[in-house]
Structures are given as C-alpha cells and as structure tokens.
Amino acid sequence: MPVIGVDLGNTYSCMAVYREDKPDVIHNHRSFRNTPNLITFAGENRFVGDDARNLALVDAKNTIYDMRQMIGRPYSEVADLANEFKWPFEVISGKDDTAQVQVMYRGHRQAYLPEELIAMILRYLAECAEDVLGEPVKSVVLTVPAIFNDVRRKAIRRAGEMAGLNVCRLIREPTAAAIAFNHIGRRIRNKTVLVYDFGGATFDATVLQVRKQLITNLATSRDNHLGGTDFDERLICVRFDSSGSTVKN
C-alpha cells in the first residue's frame, strides 16, 4: 500500500506520493494541488476543502478554519486567539481545559476538538489519494511547524490516527524543505542554511545545519501576524481607501 506525504499547513494542505523515483503531487477531487483547510457544517451535510470555501460567506459561523492554530493548546490560549483573529465561529471550553469548536450540525449543537477537525481534512485528502492511486491509503507522513512542542506534535499524530491513518513519521517543515531541495539536485550538504516559510497565516524562519544525511535545527522564529491573508486584508484596505470608502483595521 502507498504512503502519502501531507504538507499540513494552516491555510492549505498539499499531498504527494513517491513513485517512479520521484514525488508526484496528488490533485484533490476538484483537480487542485492545494486544498483549503476549511470545513463547513451545513444542515445535514459536511463540506471540506474547496466545497467549504464556496459556502464560507453564506454560513461563516459554521465554517471552521485555523485548526492548526488551535491544536494542542489549552482553551485559555485558543480563546485569546479567537479574540485576536476575530473568528466568526464559536470556541468553547471542554474537558480538562481543552478547546472545542461548537457548530450547528444536523439540527443540534455539536462540539469538535481541533484534532477531530484536522482528522476530517486528512480523511478527505486520503480519499482523494485513493481515487487517484486506485488503492487504499493507510499510511502517511505529516509535516509540522518547527516550533511545535511535544504536546502539539502528539495532537497532530492523534488527528492522523482519528482519520484512520498510520502516522509513519512527523517531519518538521524546514527539514522537509531541505530534503526536497536536495532531491531536485540543488545540493546543500555540509552547509548552514536559512529556510523561510511564508504561509497563508504565518511566517517562519529556521536555521538548519546540514551535514551529509543529518539535518539539525539550530534556531526557529515565527511571526503569527504575517501571512498571505494579511496582504489580502491590506490590499482590500488600499482599494477601499482609494475609492473613498473606509475600512476598519
């Protein structure tokens, strides 16, 4: 059975399989390489990815995103994030100070852990991969941010297991980037390199020491307020300002 690799971002996820001596990116059911990490609960149905994005403006309170920001954090921290990022959905306190997201689904209020929500994303990706590969997908390698501690890494692993997947390995995102760089022929062995990851919601910079097959993380820093969505918001402000309208920051 194939093992897929999933770049589990905060805003988007991407997956690939290694075949014919090279990584092959797998498209989702909408024929896109990248899948939005969005879930919308609408009536009796649950939508994931691009289908959820099409419903986000219609039912914002039941459209969940930023799950990776929440995972492995206590409710007190997630509540602060909810206020900071002005999430339209409801975050509540669960057992043992866990954070849960409450939605209206199938006529009832239901609460989900961040792990359960990420598991829904991973399950969808696995199903897309199965359709492309024509065989069951039971194993996965997942990327995680370099700043994730053991608690958050274990939570990501639980999400994979909830999706019915055997998590073969968790690999730090900058390490995965260095491995990929070497794979395409741009050798960076026996060097100290800076890897930057400019995502949809965050910006990470990591210094790696590469010695033959050993990659060591020397230092990592993150800005939680610098990503593609921040540029989008600024461009919207500029557009409205130029038209004589006003937009609150």
Residue 206 lies in a domain: no
Residue 110 lies in a domain: yes
What domain range is 101 assigned to?
3-172
Provide the number of structural domains found in the chain. 1
Residue 115 lies in a domain: yes
Classify the phi-psi angles of 160: left when phi > 0, otherwise alpha if psi is within -120 to 50, otherwise beta. Answer: alpha
Residue 28 exposed, middle or buried by CB count within 10 Å (0-12, 13-18, 19+): buried
- Can you give the pLDDT at residue 185? 60
Residue 223 lies in a domain: no
Q: pTM for the complete prediction? A: 0.87
* Backbone phi, psi, residue 34, to 5°: -105, 140
Residue 190 lies in a domain: no
Query: Nearest-CA neighbor of 61 among 34, 83, 85, 41?
Result: 41
Residue 218 lies in a domain: no
Chunked in runs of 10, what are the mean pLDDT values of the chain (249 residues)? Answer: 94 94 93 97 95 91 96 97 94 95 96 98 98 97 95 98 98 89 72 84 86 84 81 80 59
- Can you give the pLDDT at residue 235? 86
Domain CATH code at residue 67:
3.30.420.40
Residue 6 near residue 122 (C-beta atoms within 8 A): yes
Residue 34 lies in a domain: yes
- Can you give the pLDDT at residue 135? 96
Residue 173 near residue 204 (C-beta atoms within 8 A): yes
Cα 82 to Cα 99: distance, rounded to the nearest angstrom: 11
Number of CB atoms found within 10 A of residue 20's CB: 6
Residue 227 lies in a domain: no
- Can you give the pLDDT at residue 223? 85
